Amino acid sequence: MIKQITLELCTGNIDDCLAMIDSPVDRFELNSALELDGLTPTLHTLRTLRSYTDKPIMCMIRPHTAGFTYTEQEYRIMLEDAAEMLENGADGIVFGFLNDGHEIDKTRTAALADLAHRYHAEAVFHKAFDLVKDPFTACETLIACGIDRVLTSGTAPDALSGSPILQQLIRKYSTGIDILPGGGITAENVRTLIQNTGTNMIHFSAKSRVYQDGMYYRTDIRKTDALFRELENL
């Protein structure tokens, strides 16, 4: 933690996680396929990371990229994936359920929140939140469902653009749910974002494209170091 700012790093592979274990990062969000905005990681990736660090690990539970409504079979698999992650050392699960009208699916959201809490872990609603029609109503719904934290860019394309909504959400709901700004946060804008929103936590990836018989993302140490330096100077 740098001056009371909790740093959550979004990663897509084990090597990037291991490279950042001794950094100021406070918490990992573990994914696979960041080039697809993050999918469920493998169980062995979680086990490997858990063997190297005691820092909290949040595991993404997302089986595909096509929206945030799921068939009954997909939902059952998500429940099973979440349970396996929690049984193998995950400190929380990250997921998002919407209905066809882009409102929070209360039943499924509450079910996964309950599952996480049975393992004394956190339930995090991801950026599916940014598709809802009314973020304030949606935030109240998430609180009622037992969600501990929501990752959001304030319903805007990036967190800096969404600063006005983020500020309102933090001021109104932070005693009931953690509002975690994420989306396009860099060394160049992190200080402005913190000043504009009053947040005490950020989610970032600091990723760069890598081409090797195809494109994928890797954590860029130059970008993480630059962000850490900015936060040290707050």
Mean pLDDT, residues 141-159 = 98
Within-domain flag for 54:
yes
Strand partners, 123: 93
Tell me the pTM: 0.96
pLDDT per residue as tens digits for the range 172-231: 999 999 999 999 999 999 999 999 999 999 999 999 998 888 888 899 999 999 999 999
Within-domain flag for 56:
yes
Instruction: Look at the block and give the residue holding tokens 């170091």.
Output: 225
- pLDDT at residue 214, rounded to an integer: 83
Within-domain flag for 118:
yes
Structural domain including 150 reads 6-232
Do 180 and 149 contact (CB within 8 A), yes or no?
Answer: yes
3 falls in which pLDDT band (50, 70, 90)?
low
pLDDT per residue as tens digits for the range 133-145: 999 999 999 999 9
Within-domain flag for 1:
no
Nearest to 230 by CA among 90, 9, 24: 24
The CATH code of the domain that includes 45 is 3.20.20.380
- Percentage of the chain exceeding pLDDT 90: 91
Nearest to 105 by CA among 153, 147, 152, 157: 147
Mean pLDDT, residues 61-72 = 95
Query: Exposed, middle or buried: residue 159 (CB in 10 Å: 0-12, 13-18, 19+)?
Result: buried
Do 125 and 96 contact (CB within 8 A), yes or no?
Answer: yes
Tally of domains within the chain: 1
Residue 187 token pair: 């060394």
